[in-house]
Amino acid sequence: MNSQGNKRPWDRQQPGKSPSLSGYRVALAGNPNTGKSTLFNALTGMRQHTGNWPGKTVLHAEGRYLHNGETYTVIDLPGTYSLFSNSADEEVARDHIVFDQPDVTVVVLDATALERNLNLALQVLEMSDHVVLCVNLMDEAKRKGIQINSGKLSDKLGVPVIKTAAREGEGLEELKQVIARMAQGKITTRPYRLRYDEKLETKIAELEPEVRRVFGNRLPSRWIALRLLDGDAGLAKALRNRLGKEEVDQSGTTDGSPYPVEA
Ligand SMILES: Nc1nc2c(ncn2[C@@H]2O[C@H](COP(=O)(O)OP(=O)(O)OP(=O)(O)O)[C@@H](O)[C@H]2O)c(=O)[nH]1
Ligand SMILES: [Mg+2]
């Protein structure tokens, strides 16, 4: 509920969604050094490398936890400042969110540097409807006298916001509950989508139907149109590979594929 006592979309009960045979998949994304691996370890009981310098997690790691009888596979993505195609880390994180489409993407934010961290959060909100924002390092924020109004933040951004101190294990139960409800389709979000200037919005409106014609609703068409207009060659290549792979999956052979598949 928000401060006026109104229910947010995710307070309403939605019809449930069943897990795949292997359970639900939850990805942890965020800037470097926000506590993703600490959260991953706290959730899964594993020992991913953590430390007080950025760039420790280079390839994604997977672990599992059980919650109310369901299995959740957690993917610890490398820390990135954006999800363009500037580095292998960004491509790993981007491809996972866009192509593998986890049931829930948790964006882990540093409560002591929220403004900077929100940049990546806004990008993820453009890429997926199934996003939870986890404002971590709350113990550090409190020490610095920083207050976070998670209710206001979730009203503005249209997705649940949970405050945690992963190293102290605080807020994890609430986080697991929200992850479970979102994974099971019991939460409807209204992710905040940036509006760009008139010229760019016109171009997006032209390109987006073309993207949808090729990929249907299985990929985020507005976000793809935006990235292509920005000249993201890395994404264009990933999309071509993806199309080629779908051809192979459907026909069982690459013969006759109209799309060039790059290595
Ligand atoms: N005070 C405090 N420190 C935390 C918290 N969560 C993580 N840390 C510390 O923050 C530092 C970075 O944590 P990591 O879990 O390695 O961060 P990461 O996001 O996985 O970093 P990269 O893999 O480099 O992107 C470590 O020193 C952690 O012990 C928290 O809730 N409170
Ligand atoms: Mg890490």
What digits encode the pLDDT tens for the residues 109-125? 999 999 999 999 999 99
Residue 25 has pLDDT above 50, yes or no: yes
Closest CA to 80 of 68, 89, 72, 88: 89
Sheet holding 24-30, edge to edge: 61-67, 70-76, 24-30, 104-110, 131-136, 161-163
Both structure tokens of 257: 């594929």
Of 17-26, 143-152, 162-171, 213-222, the one with minimum mean pLDDT is 17-26
Of the listed ligands, the closest to the CA of 31 is 1
pLDDT at 3: 45
For residue 64 and ligand 1, the question of a CB distance below 6 A is answered with no
For residue 238 and ligand 1, the question of a CB distance below 6 A is answered with no
Residue 256 has pLDDT above 60, yes or no: no
pLDDT at 102: 96
Amino acid making up residue 62: E
Cα(78) to centroid(ligand 2), Å: 6
Residue 57 has pLDDT above 70, yes or no: no
Closest CA to 186 of 125, 127, 130: 130
Cα(60) to centroid(ligand 1), Å: 16
pLDDT at 85: 78
Confidence band for 137, pLDDT divided at 50, 70 and 90: very high
pTM of the model: 0.87
What is the separation of C-alpha 61 from the centre of its chain, rounded to a whole number of angstroms? 15
Residue 13 has pLDDT above 90, yes or no: no
For residue 52 and ligand 1, the question of a CB distance below 6 A is answered with yes
Of the listed ligands, the closest to the CA of 30 is 1
What digits encode the pLDDT tens for the residues 170-215? 999 999 999 999 999 999 999 999 999 999 999 999 999 999 999 9
Confidence band for 242, pLDDT divided at 50, 70 and 90: confident
Cα(149) to centroid(ligand 2), Å: 26
- Which of 28, 31, 33 most suits a substitution to test ligand 1, by most atoms within 8 Å of the C-beta? 33
For residue 82 and ligand 1, the question of a CB distance below 6 A is answered with no
Taking all residues of the chain, what is their mean pLDDT, rounded to a whole number? 86
Of the listed ligands, the closest to the CA of 79 is 1
What digits encode the pLDDT tens for the residues 61-98? 889 999 999 999 999 998 999 999 788 889 999 999 99
